Amino acid sequence: MSGFDLVVVSNRGPFTLASGPGGVVEVRPAAGGMAPSLRGALAEEPVRSGNGALWVAAALTEADRLHASAGAVATGQESLKLRTVDVTPEVGRAAYDVIANGTLWFLHHGLFDHARRPRFDRVWREAWEEYRQFNEAFADTIAEEASTGATVVVNDYHLALVGRFLIKRRPDLATAFFSHTPFCPPEDLAMLPDGARLELMESMSCFGACGFHVVRWRDAFVRCAAAVGLAPPATFVAPLGADPARLDEVAASEACRSRLLRLEDELDGRTLLLRSDRVELSKNLIRGFLAFDELLEASPQWRGRVVFLARVYASRESLPEYLAYRAETEHVVALVNERWGSPGYTPVILDLEDDFAATVAALRRYELLLVNPIRDGLNLVAMEGPVVNERDGVLVLSREAGAYDELAEVSVGVNPFDVTGTAAAMASGLSMSIEQRRARAAELRRRARSRTPAQWLSEVRHSAQVPGDRDLQA
Ligand code: F6P
């Protein structure tokens, strides 16, 4: 059987397609998130034989959809092709909005507002059926494209049911599922309706192996499997790293240099406290701004002398919770600015422009980087910042981020729910002696540069296995 020896699968791909003049397919790199980091890794990954690697992703644009049935397209990266999977807009919306992001994301990040959500009603059950169809369509595409005995790496909760469909179609494939998110504890999993809970855990057990960024998410998964009476598949832990080569390239670019000059102008010599995130409930933006408010209240010496720049970009705005969160975030920022601002001084700059060169410029410049998620699979920003930072900046890091497991001794740890504690952590980071900062930053940099996406991919690839027989109940 011909086909691809390595198939990487995710909902959002590393490229999107656009229809150029005369029907020519243009391939455009996606901006942020996990996929662009892996894109670099695939360029480095030596491909054993055959056609090389294929990335399978959901059709998100009109052109993606148009080309979904036409097979793989070249991405301009020699060893990587892209194949999009098309489903009806209703199925796509139900899978992405209602189940993946509206349910599983909230479940794994502990974000449900229990008095109101979740509600597993008839509409939700229809959406679960569509989520199942979405996963089946991916399994069909993978089964068509993978060579005999190929390795398949499926990423994230959007595609947790793929394993079950794939094992029936192609039992010869070595498969791994990788969760870039946390995994919920069994007490939270118990919220799902019984059938869905069992189906989710059984389907994940149909992969040859399941991988996580850190031990605690892996352990939670194993406990969840036990809670539904399943023997878990093989599991492994493989934290992803920042991509130093890509970051160095952007940091050295003219675009980044000009953004940095603009930023220096805006800062006018002030200290920079930075965050860089999606506008996302799990990232805990609001408590970060409230902590900054407390910092300025408790430490008058910082008023007028520190700017909190939030380089954040809009995300998942088809979900009402995200729209409401953005509005609340903007409101809190306005209050802080009203309280502490003065002519020529805006304490918080909320910058929603999606411009990676500007983000890298800010990462080069910060004195303090705040990464305070409520819960996070890893958090790449905590790694990317130290890779390019030029000011021996301090990292204030949530204990609930997977990255904390590796960076605890070289960051200032915070409980993300504790606003006053976060303010105190910011104050201590800002007033740290230069010697202390230098020593920590050197070690942070070393750790952040020591892992690359290519190593991650190689670990995941080697952890993938042909799944054994599974006795499926759901
Ligand atoms: O963190 C989980 C994740 O799926 C990442 O792998 C990805 O970069 C991010 O969420 C982006 O989410 P979305 O595709 O909804 O913008």
For 369-419, the DSSP string reads EEE--SSBS--SHHHHHHHH-SS--EEEEETTBTTHHHHGGGSEEE-TT-H
- Give CA separation, 15 vs 61, 77, 217, 458, in Å: 11, 11, 29, 21
Residue 49 has pLDDT above 50, yes or no: no
d(CA 433, CA 442): 14
* C-beta of residue 11 within 8 angstroms of C-beta of residue 96: yes
| Residue with CA nearest ligand 1 atom 8 | 33
Q: Is 189's pLDDT higher than 70? A: yes
Q: Is 108 in the pocket of ligand 1 (CB under 6 A)?
A: no
* CB 451 less than 6 A from any atom of ligand 1: no
Report the separation in Å between the CA atom of 16 and the middle of ligand 1, taken as the mean of its atom positions. Answer: 15
Q: What is the pTM for the complete model shown?
A: 0.96
Q: State the Cα–Cα distance between residues 227 and 206, nearest whole angstrom.
A: 17
Q: How far apart are the first and last CA of the chain?
A: 32
Expressed in angstroms and rounded, the spacing between residue 301 Cα and the centre of ligand 1 is 39
**Ligand 1 contact, 316 CB (< 6 A):** yes
At residue 273's C-alpha, the angle toward residues 267 and 278, to 5°, is: 110
Q: Is the CB of 33 under 6 A from ligand 1?
A: yes
pLDDT tens readout for residues 344-379: 999 999 999 989 999 999 999 999 999 999 999 999
Distant-in-sequence, close-in-space partners of 218: CB < 8 Å, separation ≥ 6: 183, 210, 211, 212, 235, 236, 237
Strands (E), 64-179: 73-77, 80-85, 146-155, 174-179
pLDDT of 39: 82
Residue identifier of the C-alpha nearest atom 5 of ligand 1: 34
Query: Which of 11, 101, 180 should be mutated for ligand 1, with most atoms under 8 A from CB?
Result: 180
> How much distance in Å is there from the Cα of 148 to the middle of ligand 1?
30
Q: Other C-beta atoms within 10 Å of 37: how many?
A: 24
Question: Cα of 1 to ligand 1 centre, how many Å?
Answer: 33
| 241: Cα separation from own chain's centroid | 12
Q: Closest residue (by CA) to atom 4 of ligand 1?
A: 156
3-class state of residue 165 by DSSP: helix
pLDDT tens profile 26-45: 888 876 678 887 887 887 66
- For residue 155, the ligand 1 atom closest to its alpha carbon is 6
What is the pLDDT, as a whole number, of residue 51? Answer: 66
**Distance in Å, CA 201 to ligand 1 centroid:** 21
Give residue 316 CA to ligand 1 midpoint distance, Å.
10
385-395 tens-digit pLDDT: 999 999 999 99
Cα–Cα distances (Å) from 473 to 186, 198, 200, 203, 240, in that order, read 19, 8, 11, 10, 34
105 CA closest ligand 1 atom index = 2
Q: List the one residue out of 64, 57, 54, 66 whose CA is nearest residue 2.
A: 54
**267 C-alpha to ligand 1 centroid (Å):** 31
Which element (helix H / strand E) includes 18?
A: strand 15-19
Ligand 1 lined by 39 (C-beta under 6 Å): no
At residue 373, what is the residue type?
A: P
Nearest CA to ligand 1 atom 16: 315
Cα–Cα distance for residue pair 422/418, rounded to 1 Å:
6
Instruction: Give buried/exposed letters for 414-439 (b at 16+ CB in 10 A, else e).
Output: bebeebeebbbbbbebbebeeeebee
CB of residue 34 inside a 6 A radius of ligand 1: yes
For residue range 64-75, list pLDDT tens digits in order: 888 887 778 888
Atom 9 of ligand 1: nearest residue by CA position: 33
Q: Return the structure tokens found at 138.
A: 């991916």
Contact 104, 110 (CB under 8 A): no
- Closest ligand 1 atom to residue 12 Cα is 14
* Across 15-22, average pLDDT: 84
Task: Answer yes or no: is the C-beta of 156 below 6 A from any ligand 1 atom.
Answer: yes
**Tens digit of each residue's pLDDT (9 = 90 or more) over 247-293:** 999 999 999 999 999 999 999 999 999 999 999 999 999 999 999 99
CA distance 290 to 335: 10
pLDDT at 43: 73
CA distances for 282 relative to 106, 227, 279, 315, 386, angstroms: 8, 26, 9, 12, 22
Mutate to test the pocket of ligand 1, among 37, 39, 108, 156 (most ligand atoms within 8 A of CB): 156
* Range 139-163 average pLDDT: 97
CA 327 vs CA 75, 294, 311, 324: distances in Å: 37, 21, 16, 5
Residue nearest to atom 15 of ligand 1 (CA): 316
48 pLDDT more than 60: no
Task: Tell me, in angstroms, the distance from the centre of ligand 1 to residue 180's CA.
Answer: 8
Whether a cis peptide bond, with omega within 30° of 0, leads into 300 is no
pLDDT band at 9 (very low <50, low <70, confident <90, very high): very high
Ligand 1 in contact with 181 (CB < 6 A)? yes
16 lines ligand 1 (CB under 6 A): no
Distances (CA, A) of 32 to 12, 13, 257, 292, 440: 10, 11, 20, 26, 27
Buried/exposed code over 285-305 (b: 16+ C-beta within 10 A; e: otherwise): bbbbbbbbbbbbeebeebeee
The reported pLDDT for the residue numbered 324 is 96
Q: CB burial class (10 A; 0-12, 13-18, 19+) of residue 261? A: exposed
Which residues is 73 bridged to in the sheet?
82
CB distance 12 to ligand 1 below 6 Å: yes
Mean pLDDT of 400-418: 98
Helix axes 215-227, 194-205, angle to 10 degrees: 120
Atom of ligand 1 at shortest distance to CA of 376?
A: 1
> What angle is formed at CA 388 by the lines to CA 246 and CA 401, rounded to 5 degrees?
90
Mutation probe of ligand 1 site: the residue of 8, 9, 11, 12 with most atoms within 8 A of C-beta: 12
Residue 101 Cα: closest atom of ligand 1: 15
| All residues at 6 or more sequence positions from 296 whose CB lies less than 8 Å from its CB, including other chains | 302, 303, 336, 339, 340, 347
